[in-house]
Amino acid sequence: MGDPSLPWLHAVEWQWCFVIQRVTTPVTEVGMPRRPLTPRPTAHGLIEPVHPAVFDYLATLHRRHDEPVLLEMEREAETRGFPIVGRVVGAFLEVMALAVGARRVFELGSGYGYSAYWFSRAVGAGGTVICTDGKAEHARQARAYLERVGRWERIDFHVGWAQDVFRAVDGPFDVIYNDVDKGDYPEVWRLARERVCPGGLYIADNTLWYGRVVQDKVVDDVEPGWTEAIREHNRAIADDPDYDCFLNPIRDGVIVARRKV
């Protein structure tokens, strides 16, 4: 850990969070009351890609992971309105990393360590999850949480601009996971595509942007340019001859791209 917090991130994060909270389901799904069988209308015509009842069902499949630290991290997200990936996507990230036998994961945009919690399970003892976030407080929180589950020694948390840290840390990586501000997605893909191991994965969250990517008239109610940036990112990955990809529509869309061997 080194650089001080980046105060500008705060405003962006909360603005984004507020919109997501207001127009979609809460960021965590565990323990949510049962929802009706028709999706709730959302402001701006945004879309929950997976039917809410189906999504709640998916969440129930991961209840065996309940443990105090995970539940606390999920409760914190709900209380603060902080956009963690949540239980269903967390379990998906773990399985993806396990499937490629990942030992070295690089995360751009770690928040307080929720997605890293799942990657830290997958990499096993001796594996490493390199985390990045602009806020020093997030690194402190991640440490407090992940120490309690005995996995902090698998974490190498850098406070600073994720793309700068990424350039500075030696690769390659078995998994590169992107969850930074969405306007930066095309840049992160350009940086990352050369540094995934052959057979390894590039994964990015929020690639459906709650349906904004399919709207005729671009809705950029979070930050100008973000919807177009996500579209550009997804198209570049889908057209890249060195990768095979699939955009999993769970929650807000998680794209997974495997580098060809």
Ligand X SMILES: C[S@@+](CC[C@H](N)C(=O)[O-])C[C@H]1O[C@@H](n2cnc3c(N)ncnc32)[C@H](O)[C@@H]1O
User: What is the four-CA torsion angle of 145, 146, 148, 151, rounded to 10 degrees?
Assistant: 180
As a whole number of angstroms, the distance between CA 245 and CA 194 comes to 15
As a whole number of angstroms, the distance between CA 11 and CA 88 comes to 27
Q: Closer to ligand X at the Cβ: 52 or 134?
A: 134
As a whole number of angstroms, the distance between CA 94 and CA 20 comes to 24
As a whole number of angstroms, the distance between CA 229 and CA 224 comes to 10
Q: Where are the alpha helices (DSSP H) in 61-161?
A: 68-80, 86-99, 114-123, 136-148
- 85 contacts ligand X (rule: CB under 6 A): yes
- 13 contacts ligand X (rule: CB under 6 A): yes
- 27 contacts ligand X (rule: CB under 6 A): no
Minimum gap (Å) between residue 132 Cβ and ligand X: 5
Sign, CA torsion 138/22/18/212: positive
- 234 contacts ligand X (rule: CB under 6 A): no
Minimum gap (Å) between residue 261 Cβ and ligand X: 28
Which residue in 92, 106, 114, 173 binds ligand X (CB under 6 A)? Answer: 114
- Spatial CA neighbour of 33 closest among 60, 6, 65, 67: 60
- 145 contacts ligand X (rule: CB under 6 A): no
Return all residues near 80 (Cβ < 8 A) that are at least 6 apart.
none
Provide the mask over 154-183, with x wherever binding to ligand X is found by CB under 6 A and - wherever it is not.
-------xxx---------------xxx--
As a whole number of angstroms, the distance between CA 176 and CA 80 comes to 27
- 132 contacts ligand X (rule: CB under 6 A): yes
Provide the mask over 33-72, with x wherever binding to ligand X is found by CB under 6 A and - wherever it is not.
----------------------------------------
Minimum gap (Å) between residue 198 Cβ and ligand X: 25
Number of residues that bind ligand X (CB under 6 A): 22
Q: Closer to ligand X at the Cβ: 41 or 232?
A: 232
Which residues bind to ligand X, rule: CB under 6 A? 9, 13, 83-85, 109-111, 114-115, 132-135, 138, 161-163, 179-181, 184
